Amino acid sequence: MSSLELRGITVRYGRFTAVQDVDLLVPEGTVTGLVGGSGSGKSTLGKAVVGLAPRTAGRVLVAGRETDRRRGRGPVQLVFQNPYASLDPRMGIGAAVAEALPGPAAPRLRPFRGTPARARRAARDAEVARYLELVGIDPARAALTPDALSGGQRQRVALARALAARPAVLIADEITSALDVSVQGAVLNLLRRLQRELGFAMLFISHNLAVVRYLSDQVAVLDGGRLVECGPTDRVLRRPAHPTTRTLLSCVPTLAPTEDAS
Ligand SMILES: Nc1ncnc2c1ncn2[C@@H]1O[C@H](COP(=O)(O)OP(=O)(O)OP(=O)(O)O)[C@@H](O)[C@H]1O
């Protein structure tokens, strides 16, 4: 299990600063909900962690060690709102999961000695089946391409692919926003169960505070690219300290702060 620590993360697009000097610690095995209004920088911060947005300044540490972008983003995996962003529409879902499994490079790059190739392939197929089963997809469907699946099933496969890389940290960016309300709950329950079972740290990005409350140990609030509040979920949602948090909460009547809010 590992923590995620962001120190002084800043992202600029030209003269526009999308994320400004963000410090944030996601303790190991816990979930931090990242909330904020539209355009507050949530996605940009998530992308900056994995090198998909240009980090102008700052450091990312996983388990206390600075991540090395040259070694890929194995320890931190990101799942997007749109599963097509992480799944190749032409690739079978089993192959997509297999591709993410850590292991030796392709045989032609690194000759394999010892276990016969067939046994190695069987072991890999079993791993793929395990990850598909983990997210509730029948491994017998491994040859299907994403277009044969529903939106919820696609998002489950995107999750399986991310988890197959055995990440220490998962960043989930609005992963249920594009799904029918009827399947959102099932995907969120799955995510919560997997996070508890596998113990990865998670940065859960969402504009939906009810969902954030359900999943998160702590809540971090972005406004104009700056982190304006961060604390235990219950405290932040019951007694928000920053006006931005109060405004976000006022849009969710059932979560509006109680009378003891200051
Ligand atoms: N590639 C880019 N080039 C220039 N500006 C960008 C780029 N990506 C994002 N931005 C800007 O950075 C700001 C933050 O965007 P971001 O998508 O991170 O916000 P967000 O909080 O995730 O919003 P939403 O909830 O609407 O998805 C916005 O003003 C956006 O227009």
Going along the chain from its start, the domains and CATH numbers come out as 4-89+167-255 (3.40.50.300)
Residue of 13, 38, 173, 174 with the most ligand 1 atoms within 8 Å of its CB, for mutation = 13
Interface predicted TM-score of the whole assembly (ipTM), two decimals: 0.98
Q: Which pLDDT does position 74 carry in this prediction?
A: 64
Q: In sequence order, what are the residues at sequence separation of 6 or more whose Cβ sits closer than 8 angstroms to the Cβ of residue 192?
A: 214, 215
Q: Is 195 in the pocket of ligand 1 (CB under 6 A)?
A: no
- The pTM for the full model equals 0.90
Protein residue whose Cα sits closest to atom 4 of ligand 1: 13
Instruction: Give the integer Cα–Cα distance in Å for 204 and 168.
Output: 14
- Please state, for a pLDDT cut of 90, what percent of the chain lies above it: 71
In a mutational test of the pocket of ligand 1, which residue from 44, 171, 212 has the highest number of ligand atoms less than 8 Å from its CB?
44
How far is residue 248's CA from residue 255's CA, in Å, rounded to a whole number? 10
Token readout for 67 is 């991540």
Q: What would the mean pLDDT of 204-217 be, rounded to a whole number?
A: 93
CA of 174 to the centre of ligand 1 (A): 14
DSSP assignment string, 19-69: EEEEEEEE-TT-EEEEEESTTSSHHHHHHHHTTSS-EEEEEEEETTEE--G
pLDDT over 70 at 256, yes or no: no
Which is the closest atom of ligand 1 to the Cα of 14?
4
Q: What confidence category does residue 1 fall into, taking pLDDT thresholds of 50, 70 and 90?
A: low
Packing angle, helices 93-100 and 117-134, rounded to 10: 100
